[in-house]
Amino acid sequence: MRSLYGWLALGAGAALVVLAEYRLNDYYQRVLAVVAINVILAVSLSLTNGFSGDVSLGHAAFMAIGAYASALLTMPASMKLLALPDLPAWLARLELPFALALLAAGVLAALAAFVVGIPVLRLRGHYLSVATLGLMVIVQVVALNWQTVTRGARGLNGLPPLTTLLWAYGWMLVSVIVIWRLVRSPFGRAMLAVREDELAAACRGVRVVRTRMLAFVTGAFFAGTAGALWAHLITAIAPASFSFFITFNVVAMVVIGGAGSITGAILGGVLMTLLPEWLRGIETSLAGSGRPLYGLSQIVIALLMLLVMIFRPQGLLGGRELTDLLRRPPPVRPGENEGAVGRAPR
Amino acid sequence: MTYLLQQTVNALNLGSIYALVAIGLTIVYGILRLINFAHGDMMTVGAYVALAALSALVLPVWSAMLLAMIVAGAIGIVIERLAYRPLRGSREVAMLITSLAISSLIQNSATMTLTAQPRPLRLPAELARRFEWAGLTIAPIDGLILLLSILLMVLLSLFVKYTTIGIAMRACSERVWTTHLMGVHVNRVIAVAFGVSAALAGIAGVLWSGKFGLVDPFTGFVPGLKAFVAAVIGGVGSIPGAMVGGYLLGFAEVFFVAFAPPALSGYRDAFVFVLLLAILLVRPAGLFGLEEGRRA
Amino acid sequence: MLHIHDLHVAYGNVDALKGISLEVRAGEIVALIGSNGAGKTTTLSAISGLLRPKRGQILFEGVEITRLAPYEIVRRGLVQCPEGRQIFARLTVAENLRLAAGHRRDRSAVARDLERVLGLFPILGERQQQIAGLLSGGEQQMLALGRSIMSAPRLLLLDEPSLGLAPLVVERIFQVIADLRREGVTILLVEQNAWQALRLADRAYVIETGAITLSAPAPVLLEDPRVKAAYLGG
């Protein structure tokens, strides 16, 4: 953001957001806010799934943790007294401003990631995938059973609608900048080195497990905050809100946009919000004809992902940043053409 | 004492099903290093096929089960051919992500065509009828699950131990590259591995839904994940490990529910995955594991 | 019997073979010598169909096999005995041998070949039911060689058969190779141990950084000053 153009773009963006805040109807405002939240999710997931080369499937879980945390921290005490009479006294009285609740949401999610990461990150990447899906089940089960805090399957309703477009896009900007910086720092290069060849990275003095852990925990932090934003946008959360679909859709954003590229993740986040939204319109419009096609949007996303994996496994942007494409000939990353010619028949 | 026996019966049932599903996961993982997230959905496929066979075609139970195995196995082979084979030689995570997409595809195709509404899978009365015996409440289905699972596991073990293609499967899980040099048609071996895995998951799905009485598009997802925990307990890649791991997990889960304070029984699924984390912390290679799980 | 014409193989952007041409005639032992990383194993992998060449042709008995799958190549009688300890350590000795003959339909011929392998290496007979991973290094190399015999080779590609073995075992392995040739098996031998290879071979090629730099009858190369300096320890 050092250049004049950067500041101009920022100013123009802020003006647009403010304009949208006051001019657009509720539906479009909500879609736009979801776009911002999904961009945060995609960019934070790209930290693990794109850069350090693991596949985390924990985003639904981290979102849930963040959503419940922020909901409990911001709900008016009077409401808590009615809805959750058995809450511990300190929590029942606590009413935090949104900014603090957002941070707390991220920190709790990061903590959960840390606990899962300890046993798993020293193992082959696969185990992270299974353990994070396991975390999703654990979080759902806890949310379902911990009646005194979560109200179980009924969920928490009537949350304060704190997620304005300004909050959503402001926080999105913060997330993108932090993660962009991180990826371009020595730590980011360490992540790429780990992804390309772990052993070689270790030999060059990269602390593999720590690098992985930092990527994973940072990603979880932002996923937690995204969960909080989402909770205060929809204003109602329940255990079923944070299912495998959420995780899957975020993974689709990163895969389709292009793993290893922040702008790719942003692109994926935007596309994978608008496309299903549009398809859902079709689903429900067909419902009138007596033959609703629920599931259609998910089927399209899944097929899209399969096609991308087979024909363009590097995703739309192919591991490059949009800025690379605009400015100079793209750098060839080591291993990008891996197996293109000398591919083994296995 | 009767309570203990009753819980043992339950654990054996649950363990049998986990074992059948875990075997398939472990076979495919052994050869392709793929954690097949769509494996549990083969249970769903099997259960729906059995539902159709029993209700629409009015077939006898045994042929409904056979049909479920055949259809699930065939779908497994087709999926491998269309989705996984083009990815051979690319990064390991490519197949993992593809398996997620397949899983979503199966779940949502079922939702779209059959609706998300759970449907009852009714086994014939002579299988499902419960009766009291020595203080235990059991149904013939309980015995069927155990015996059929053991029979299938014995057959599979013989297949893997004595047939040429079984030996080739084990060879592939050790070093695929060299297996090519032995004149083995590796692609065919992989197809067979997927077929066998999916068929076992298919029958497991019939047994699962037969026992609990319901099928929906997501029936197999969580049991499939839990079967992975079973495979990890036994050591991923080891077939005997998957069998033992399946039963150990069955016992752990049932006895957790039976003996933990009642307030905690709702947490049974959480317990299974906490167990997974604990095992990965203490002994990531499992009971029979090969130390390959650990990073360099 | 084997004709390789202008073979190019690349790993990603790195060219591993830059236009190799060589020929093996029926009944010969041909050695391919070169240092580590020169492209010897890559050449064998390309012949066996494990790597897809970028360019070039491989003909076996007059038929192009460049694009065939590895198993089809083995079934034509072009068998590779891979380097080092690439036996299946978790299979038994008997299973290792049986796997290599798995594609053959003539059961009595397979039984005869098994007899022969167990005759050549009696230790394998004693250890048939043992896990192959428990064999010693020399025994593992015997198993690897015996396994190749079970595939009924007409042309045998041998990758570093002497690698890391005690001199006595090397002696035994090379005896068996000589025996195989007498029985009519043609052999392409890849070796770092150039002296051993050249003593046994009829002709030899020298490969350096992905290209053939010398080819001559083996006795000539044994006396060649360049070969002496580079591969025979002066």
* Domain parsing of chain A, residue ranges: 4-243
Q: Which of C88, C90, C97, C106 to mutate to test the interface with B (most CBs of B within 10 A)?
A: C88
**Cβ contact (<8 Å) for A125 and B87?**
no
Q: What percent of chain B has pLDDT over 70?
A: 97
Residue C192 near residue C163 (C-beta atoms within 8 A): yes
B293: pLDDT strictly greater than 50:
no
Mean pLDDT of B171-187: 91
Residue B291 near residue B237 (C-beta atoms within 8 A): no
Match 């071979």 to its residue by tokens: C201
Q: How confident is the model at residue C101 (pLDDT cuts 50, 70, 90)?
A: very high
pLDDT at res. A287: 61
pLDDT at res. A160: 87
**Cβ contact (<8 Å) for A341 and C16?**
no
Mean pLDDT of A130-155: 90
Q: What percent of chain B has pLDDT over 90?
A: 59
Contact list in A for residue B108 (CB cut-off 8 A) is 295-296, 298-299, 302
The chain C residue lying nearest A340, using CA atoms, is C12
Residue A71 near residue A89 (C-beta atoms within 8 A): no
* Domain parsing of chain B, residue ranges: 2-282
A139 DSSP 8-state letter: H
Match 């000795």 to its residue by tokens: C93
Q: Please report how the helices B92-114 and B39-51 are oriented relative to each other, as an axis angle in degrees rounded to 10.
A: 20
> Phi and psi of C153, rounded to 5°?
-75, 145
Chain B residues 187-206 with CB within 8 Å of chain C: 187
CB atoms inside a 10 Å sphere around CB C26: 12
Mean pLDDT of C59-84: 90
The chain A residue lying nearest B232, using CA atoms, is A127
Say if B182 is an interface residue toward chain A (CB within 8 Å). Answer: no
For residues B204 and B152, what is the distance between their CA atoms, to the nearest angstrom? 11
Chain A residues 293-312 with CB within 8 Å of chain C: none
The type of residue at A316 is L
**Cβ contact (<8 Å) for C91 and B167?**
yes
Q: What is the pLDDT of residues B228-241, one digit of tens each?
A: 999 999 888 888 99
pLDDT at res. A332: 43
Q: What is the pLDDT of residues A1-36, one digit of tens each?
A: 457 777 777 887 877 777 777 777 778 888 888 999
Q: What is the pLDDT of residues A289-319, one digit of tens each?
A: 656 677 888 898 899 989 988 888 777 776 6
Q: Please report how the helices A296-311 and A244-257 are oriented relative to each other, as an axis angle in degrees rounded to 10.
A: 40
Match 């002709």 to its residue by tokens: C203
pLDDT at res. A7: 77
- Angle CA(C117)–CA(C122)–CA(C127) in degrees, nearest 5? 100
**Cβ contact (<8 Å) for C52 and A339?**
no
> Phi and psi of B294, rounded to 5°?
-70, 150
A67: pLDDT strictly greater than 60:
yes
B208 or A22: which leads in pLDDT: B208
Question: Lowest-pLDDT range, A233-242, A279-288, A292-301, C207-216?
Answer: A279-288
Residue B171 Ramachandran class (φ > 0 left, ψ -120 to 50 alpha, else beta): alpha
A77: pLDDT strictly greater than 60:
yes
The type of residue at A339 is G
For residue C193, which of C22, C32, C80 has the smallest C-alpha distance? C32
The type of residue at A228 is A
Pick the CATH number of B2-282 from 1.25.40, 1.10.3470, 1.20.950, 1.10.150: 1.10.3470
C22: pLDDT strictly greater than 60:
yes
Q: What is the pLDDT of residues B63-77, one digit of tens each?
A: 999 999 999 999 999
A112: pLDDT strictly greater than 50:
yes
Sign of CA dihedral C162, C164, C168, C169: negative
Q: How confident is the model at residue B48 (pLDDT cuts 50, 70, 90)?
A: very high
Q: State the count of interchain CB pairs (< 8 A) between B and C.
A: 68
Residue A305 near residue A248 (C-beta atoms within 8 A): no
Q: Look up the pTM and report it.
A: 0.87
In this complex, which of A337, A338, A342 lies closest to C9 when CB atoms are compared?
Answer: A342
B244, two tokens? 């033992």
In this complex, which of B167, B168, B183 lies closest to C151 when CB atoms are compared?
Answer: B183
In this complex, which of C80, C91, C103 lies closest to B171 when CB atoms are compared?
Answer: C91
Match 């004492």 to its residue by tokens: B1
pLDDT at res. B295: 42
Q: Which of B28, B88, B97 to mutate to test the interface with A (most CBs of A within 10 A)?
A: B97
B296: pLDDT strictly greater than 50:
no
pLDDT at res. A292: 63
pLDDT at res. A288: 59
Match 């799958």 to its residue by tokens: C69
For residue C94, which of B161, B178, A302 has the smallest C-alpha distance? B161
How far does the CA of residue C141 sit from the closest CA of chain A (Å)? 24
Residue A156 Ramachandran class (φ > 0 left, ψ -120 to 50 alpha, else beta): beta
Q: What is the pLDDT of residues C122-138, one digit of tens each?
A: 999 999 999 999 998 88
How far does the CA of residue A302 sit from the closest CA of chain C (Å)? 30
Compute the half-sphere exposure of residue B91: CA atoms within 13 Å on the CB side of its CA: 24
Mean pLDDT of C101-118: 91
B294 DSSP 8-state letter: B
Contact list in B for residue C80 (CB cut-off 8 A) is 181
Q: What is the pLDDT of residues A238-283, one digit of tens each?
A: 999 898 889 999 999 988 887 778 888 888 889 888 888 888 877 7
Contact list in C for residue A344 (CB cut-off 8 A) is 50-51
A333: pLDDT strictly greater than 60:
no
Residue A70 near residue A206 (C-beta atoms within 8 A): no
Q: What is the pLDDT of residues A143-189, one digit of tens each?
A: 999 988 888 888 888 888 888 888 989 999 999 999 888 888 887 78
B161: pLDDT strictly greater than 80:
yes
Using CA atoms, how far residue B19 sits from B35, B97, C103, in Å, is 16, 24, 32
Mean pLDDT of C165-173: 88
Contact list in B for residue C81 (CB cut-off 8 A) is 181
pLDDT at res. B227: 94
A291 or C225: which leads in pLDDT: C225
B291: pLDDT strictly greater than 60:
no
pLDDT at res. A122: 83
CA A19 distance to own-chain centroid: 26
CB atoms inside a 10 Å sphere around CB A312: 14
B196 or C220: which leads in pLDDT: B196
Say if A331 is an interface residue toward chain C (CB within 8 Å). Answer: no
How far does the CA of residue C158 sit from the closest CA of chain B (Å)? 12
C219: pLDDT strictly greater than 50:
yes
Q: If DSSP codes are grouped into helix, strand and coil, which group holds residue C142?
A: helix
Q: What is the pLDDT of residues C23-54, one digit of tens each?
A: 999 999 999 988 888 888 889 999 999 988 88
CB atoms inside a 10 Å sphere around CB A152: 15
**Cβ contact (<8 Å) for A137 and B222?**
yes
**Cβ contact (<8 Å) for C12 and A341?**
yes
The chain A residue lying nearest C54, using CA atoms, is A341
In this complex, which of B177, B181, B183 lies closest to C102 when CB atoms are compared?
Answer: B183
B6: pLDDT strictly greater than 50:
yes
The type of residue at A170 is G
